[in-house]
Amino acid sequence: MTMLEVRDLTVTYRYGGASLAAVRSVGFTLDGGEILGVAGESGSGKSTMALSLVRLLPPGAGITGQVLFHGEDLTTATWGKLRAVRWAQASLVFQGAMNALNPVRSVGEQIAEPIRLHERVDHRAIGRRVADLLDSVGVSSRRASAYPHELSGGQRQRVMIAMALACRPDLIIADEPTTALDVMVQAQILQLLTDLVAQSDIAVIMISHDLAMLADTCDRLAVMYAGRLVESGPAGQVFAEPRHPYTQALSRAFPRVGDPTSRRAPASLPGEPPALGAVGDGCAFAPRCSLVMPDCLTRDIEPWPSGPGREAACLLVLPDPAVVGEDGPRVGERHPRVGASD
Ligand code: ADP
Ligand code: MG
């Protein structure tokens, strides 16, 4: 059974009387031992998608579709079930470890906390687990008694990863885990995550705005724009031969791994993503697309096969964009897709 299968996931936030979609009809699958990279500019819905997988959304947010984790739909799971899943089976690593760690408790105590909450283990065994966890993320176990401010930024991010690993999860969702770190430390942290995946059967969803960095670290890439998955496929291919014009612009924006200069505004891509709710019937990327065609302003297709194991939501991947028949792709939002992609 596939570890994680996301189908037609849509997430809305409430603005006054309106519910505006921040994630629109997203679908993908993920197996143990795989790293899926999720790329896209700031505001494209990456964090919302990540949080919705384990239903950590703020009050008022709405979620439809399915998140099948080991076959069980988390969008309708009870709170008791969700509590058990968080930490114990699926855990999150956020950006900005300094803010996420408690400044007045030692890092060892903080790593021990999820173990204490979710498992019946005695004091000594917990101490050993904490020491092992610190070792596995490359922090000396003697540092267990240190407070967050006594550690470097990279060490704190390693501690966050140790916390995420504490209850031996199957799935780690890492939301821009290295954004606040310098390039050398970023590379080390990413290497650590890839080693952990290689050694175990953990699956990782790695979120970043930096496509080149993800192409280097991940098995598969998924690119988000205005809440939709516009392209997905094997990481190297998606980066080297992008099919969607948005991915093409992103890959030009991040020619090198961890390029810090092009973080928020890709130089080759003028303009900004649309505001929530400002997406009409056409493709959300059309206003910024250098290859835009008249049809793009009225038609927004679902992700469609664009090569072996690849999909792109762009009319350009269709053999003949003018043809939409029985066998053609459905239009995006009005006929949300139900199948999974891989
Ligand atoms: P990313 O992680 O790709 O930067 P986000 O998921 O944070 O994107 O944001 C997607 C969109 O949802 C943005 O327009 C953002 O302003 C909006 N958004 C994010 N969090 C909330 C929230 N708690 N309430 C309302 N809108 C939100
Ligand atoms: Mg984010």
Rounded distance from Cα 43 to ligand 2 centre (Å): 7
Token couple for 45: 């819905």
User: Is 44 near ligand 1, meaning CB less than 6 Å away?
Assistant: yes
Which of the four pLDDT bands, split at 50, 70 and 90, describes residue 324? Answer: low
The mean of the pLDDT values for the chain is 87
Tens digits of residue pLDDT in 133-179: 999 889 999 999 999 999 998 899 889 889 988 888 999 999 988 77
pLDDT at 96 over 80: no
Tens digits of residue pLDDT in 54-86: 999 999 999 999 999 999 999 999 999 998 898
The closest residue, in CA terms, to atom 7 on ligand 1 is 47
The pLDDT value given to residue 196? 85
Nearest to 218, CA basis, from 23, 33, 29 = 33
Atom of ligand 1 nearest to the CA of 44: 3
Instruction: Please state the rounded mean pLDDT for residues 12-31.
Output: 95
User: Is 40 near ligand 1, meaning CB less than 6 Å away?
Assistant: yes
Please tell me whether residue 42 adopts helix, strand or coil conformation: coil
User: Is 95 near ligand 1, meaning CB less than 6 Å away?
Assistant: no
The pLDDT value given to residue 262? 46
- Mean pLDDT lowest among 12-16, 210-214, 306-310, 333-337: 333-337
The pLDDT value given to residue 339? 34
Tens digits of residue pLDDT in 190-205: 888 888 888 888 999 9
The one-letter amino acid at 313: A
The pLDDT value given to residue 331? 55
pTM (predicted TM-score): 0.88
Which of the four pLDDT bands, split at 50, 70 and 90, describes residue 321? Answer: low
| CA–CA dist 111, 156 (Å, integer) | 12
pLDDT at 336 over 70: no
User: Is 274 near ligand 1, meaning CB less than 6 Å away?
Assistant: no
User: Is 59 near ligand 1, meaning CB less than 6 Å away?
Assistant: no
Half-sphere exposure of 32 (CA within 13 A, CB side): 11
| CA–CA dist 210, 265 (Å, integer) | 11
Instruction: Please state the rounded mean pLDDT for residues 182-190.
Output: 77
**Which residue is associated with the tokens 């439809």?**
64
User: Is 42 near ligand 1, meaning CB less than 6 Å away?
Assistant: yes
Tens digits of residue pLDDT in 119-132: 888 999 999 999 99
Tens digits of residue pLDDT in 251-292: 887 665 554 554 445 566 888 899 998 888 899 999 999 999
User: Is 225 near ligand 1, meaning CB less than 6 Å away?
Assistant: no
Q: State the DSSP string of 181-239.
A: S-HHHHHHHHHHHHHHHHHS--EEEEE-S-HHHHHHH-SEEEEEETTEEEEEEEHHHHH
Rounded distance from Cα 50 to ligand 2 centre (Å): 9
Atom of ligand 1 nearest to the CA of 15: 25
- Mean pLDDT lowest among 139-153, 168-182, 290-304, 312-326: 312-326
Phi, psi of 264 (to 5 degrees): -95, -40
Tens digits of residue pLDDT in 202-247: 999 999 888 888 998 899 999 999 999 999 999 999 999 999 999 9
Rounded distance from Cα 246 to ligand 1 centre (Å): 19
| CA–CA dist 80, 290 (Å, integer) | 49
Positive or negative, the CA dihedral 224, 229, 231, 236 is positive
pLDDT above 90: percentage of residues in the chain: 59
Instruction: Please state the rounded mean pLDDT for residues 32-44.
Output: 94
Rounded distance from Cα 6 to ligand 2 centre (Å): 19
| CA–CA dist 119, 134 (Å, integer) | 19
Among 14, 26, 47, 48, the mutation site with the greatest number of ligand 1 atoms within 8 A of its Cβ is: 48
The pLDDT value given to residue 83? 87
The pLDDT value given to residue 327? 62
Atom of ligand 1 nearest to the CA of 57: 23
- Kindly give, in sequence order, each residue whose CB lies less than 8 Å from that of residue 99, ignoring residues fewer than 6 positions away: none
Tens digits of residue pLDDT in 99-114: 788 999 999 999 999 8
The closest residue, in CA terms, to atom 10 on ligand 1 is 45
b/e for 104-142, b at 16 or more Cβ within 10 A?
eebbbebbbbbbeebeeeeeeebeebbbebbebbbbeee
User: Is 202 near ligand 1, meaning CB less than 6 Å away?
Assistant: no
